């Protein structure tokens, strides 16, 4: 997707759940004061004192006008900012000043100064696109893209260029991209006539996306063909976040989850109930390449296999911890239903919440590669009135045993490395999982 998500490393879009913003705090009103009259004998003193009080009040009022909204204890900290702001507004001679633009720039600088890859300022359009993405739909062409190295091997690389190529993984079924003729393995070289070299995956993705009904021209290199300019009319894309099939002659159910929205959580529950209802006693949950999404969806999906106890812990900025327990009535909490979870370096955030919960509770065997390692939760804050918004890291999430996997990832129980020369269509990680589930099931018990 917690997507990735948007100021994230190329090839990932981790992004996480919404957290209710704190209520605004309003300072209490100060009661008025009444100064009693004084005797004529001390009138001069009173006048002088009054003038001194007036002067002090004028200075205080002047300072507050110059630093509006600044708490008294933070005046020294904010003084350079307000000094710069007023100097720019009063003295800039390069043209008219749009104060809104200055404020937007200040907010962007504030978030950027945190040096947090998951906190970022967004324009109004970027903010809405970001929300659409983690809600399971967006406006664009409908194609899954990824970065590959010069040899055509998946790689987390940036910027784009000869050694880092932006490739179509697959068009979404029924999407404008599929209808226009984009094919898997097409290499995107330009968007609307502008080369993608030097840009990041996220930057190009944002250029390709756009309002429903608008058009975009994508230039692609295709094996055995000259460069092709393909014009595509954008539309609302509903992401297929839950993909199912039967394996091993119907003995193993396979469910792939590509994102964590409310829709994916309910879709996953329906798919799992069908598999269990059909008598399948082995399930593969594929979280590879899943960048995350809502933590609420992660909780719901993990709860399908875990009957009780913590799914994860959430720790706020003040160090307080909240235990988030399993939801009741999961479809596959019976331990006789074997479970293998597939992860890789693209499994991030909400994917890791699920994988860690299933691993630490002994409910599943993890197969594949070490996961991405994103252990934080972001809040989306709308500045309203067309002023854009920002997302901010507001909490850490911890595993059921209160481990923080940030920057480390989750190590699989059964590591499987995919060779660079793996033939197209083969899947050593999935093959290993099916082998464990349908063959030596004792290996699953030992791994748990």
pLDDT digits (tens, 9 = 90+) for 118-164: 999 998 888 877 777 677 778 899 998 989 888 888 777 889 999 99
Q: In the predicted model, is pLDDT for residue 30 greater than 60?
A: no
Angstrom distance (rounded) from CA 418 to CA 344: 10
Residue count (the chain): 448
Confidence of residue 67 (pLDDT cuts 50, 70, 90): low
Which residue shows structure tokens 């197969």?
A: 367
Which token pair is 134?
């983690």
Highest average pLDDT, of 133-142, 296-305, 421-430, comes from 296-305
67-88 average pLDDT score: 84
Q: Return the pLDDT at 156.
A: 75
CB 391, CB 6: distance < 8 Å = yes
Listed residue (4, 75, 128) closest to 384, CA to CA: 128
- What are the tens digits of pLDDT across the range 312-335? 999 999 999 999 999 999 999 999
Q: In the predicted model, is pLDDT for residue 28 greater than 50?
A: no
More confident residue, 315 or 291: 315
Q: Return the pLDDT at 425.
A: 81
Q: In the predicted model, is pLDDT for residue 14 greater than 60?
A: no
Q: Return the pLDDT at 68.
A: 64
Angstrom distance (rounded) from CA 290 to CA 286: 9
Percentage above 70 pLDDT, the chain: 82
Of 68-77, 162-171, 252-261, least confident by mean pLDDT is 68-77
Q: Return the pLDDT at 242.
A: 94
Question: What phi and psi, each to the nearest 5 degrees, are found at residue 360?
Answer: -70, -20
391-415 average pLDDT score: 97
More confident residue, 388 or 232: 232
Question: Residues near 269 by Cβ (< 8 Å), separated by ≥ 6?
Answer: 300, 301, 304, 331
228-240 average pLDDT score: 92
Question: Residues near 429 by Cβ (< 8 Å), separated by ≥ 6?
Answer: 288, 342, 344, 367, 368, 416, 418
Q: In the predicted model, is pLDDT for residue 266 greater than 90?
A: yes
Confidence of residue 445 (pLDDT cuts 50, 70, 90): very low
CB atoms under 10 Å from CB of 136, counted, come to 23
* Sequence-ordered alpha helix ranges (H) in 155-224: 176-180, 201-208
Listed residue (148, 188, 134) closest to 349, CA to CA: 134
Report which secondary-structure segment, H or E, holds 441. helix 441-447
- C-alpha to C-alpha distances, 139 to 41, 203, 209, 213, 362, nearest whole angstrom: 80, 15, 6, 9, 40
- What are the tens digits of pLDDT across the range 342-377? 999 999 999 999 999 999 999 999 999 999 999 999
Q: Return the pLDDT at 69.
A: 67
Q: In the predicted model, is pLDDT for residue 410 greater than 80?
A: yes
31-57 average pLDDT score: 37
**331: region left, alpha or beta (phi > 0 left; psi from -120 to 50 alpha):** alpha
Q: Return the pLDDT at 66.
A: 57
Angstrom distance (rounded) from CA 323 to CA 316: 12
Longest alpha-carbon distance in the chain: 108
Report which secondary-structure segment, H or E, holds 338. strand 338-343
Q: Is 223 exposed, middle or buried (0-12, 13-18, 19+ CB in 10 A)?
A: exposed
Q: In the predicted model, is pLDDT for residue 171 greater than 60?
A: yes
Q: Return the pLDDT at 385.
A: 77
Q: Return the pLDDT at 204.
A: 93
HSE-CB at 378 with a 13 A cutoff on CA atoms is 34
Q: In the predicted model, is pLDDT for residue 43 greater than 90?
A: no
Q: Return the pLDDT at 92.
A: 96
CB 208, CB 196: distance < 8 Å = no
More confident residue, 202 or 447: 202
Average per-residue pLDDT for the chain: 83
Q: Return the pLDDT at 65.
A: 52
Q: In the predicted model, is pLDDT for residue 243 greater than 90?
A: yes
31-47 average pLDDT score: 37
Residues noted as catalytic: 349, 360, 374
């Amino acid at each position: 997707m917690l997507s990735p998500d948007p100021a994230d490393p190329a090839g990932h879009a981790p992004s996480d759940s919404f957290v209710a913003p704190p209520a605004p705090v309003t300072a209490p009103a100060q009661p008025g004061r009444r100064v009693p009259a004084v005797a004529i004998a001390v009138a001069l003193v009173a006048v002088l004192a009054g003038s001194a009080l007036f002067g002090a009040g004028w200075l205080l009022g002047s300072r507050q006008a110059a630093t509006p909204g600044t708490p008294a204890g933070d005046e020294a900290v904010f003084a350079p900012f307000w000094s710069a702001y007023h100097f720019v507004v009063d003295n800039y001679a390069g043209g008219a000043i749009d104060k809104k633009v200055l404020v937007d720039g200040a907010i962007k600088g504030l978030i950027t100064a945190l040096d947090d890859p998951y906190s970022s300022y967004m324009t109004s359009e970027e903010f809405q696109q970001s929300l659409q993405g983690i809600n399971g739909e967006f406006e664009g062409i409908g194609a899954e893209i990824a970065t590959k190295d010069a040899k055509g091997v998946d790689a987390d690389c940036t910027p784009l260029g000869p050694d880092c190529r932006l490739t179509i993984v697959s068009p979404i079924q029924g999407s404008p991209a599929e209808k226009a003729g984009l094919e898997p393995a097409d290499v995107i070289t330009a968007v609307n006539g502008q080369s993608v070299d030097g840009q990041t995956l996220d930057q190009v993705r944002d250029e390709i996306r756009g309002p429903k009904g608008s058009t975009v021209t994508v230039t692609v290199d295709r094996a055995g063909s000259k460069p092709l300019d393909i014009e595509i009319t954008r539309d609302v894309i509903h992401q297929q976040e839950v993909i199912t099939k039967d394996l091993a002659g119907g003995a193993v159910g396979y469910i792939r989850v590509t994102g964590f929205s409310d829709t994916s959580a309910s879709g996953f529950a329906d798919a799992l109930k069908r598999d269990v209802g059909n008598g399948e006693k082995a399930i593969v949950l594929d979280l590879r390449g899943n960048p995350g999404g809502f933590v609420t969806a992660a909780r719901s999906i993990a709860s399908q296999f875990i009957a009780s106890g913590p799914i994860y812990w959430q720790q706020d900025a003040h160090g307080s911890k909240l235990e988030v327990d399993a939801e009741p009535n999961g479809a596959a909490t019976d331990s006789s239903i074997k479970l293998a979870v597939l992860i890789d370096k693209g499994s991030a955030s909400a994917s890791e919440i699920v994988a860690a919960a299933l691993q630490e509770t002994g409910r599943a065997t993890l197969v594949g590669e070490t996961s991405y390692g994103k252990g934080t939760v972001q809040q989306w804050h709308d500045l309203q009135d067309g002023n854009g918004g920002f997302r901010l890291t507001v909490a850490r999430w911890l595993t059921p045993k209160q481990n923080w996997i940030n920057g480390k990832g989750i190590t699989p129980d059964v590591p499987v490395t995919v060779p660079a020369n793996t033939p197209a269509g083969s899947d050593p990680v999935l093959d290993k999982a099916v082998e464990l589930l349908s063959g030596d099931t004792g290996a699953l018990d030992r791994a748990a």
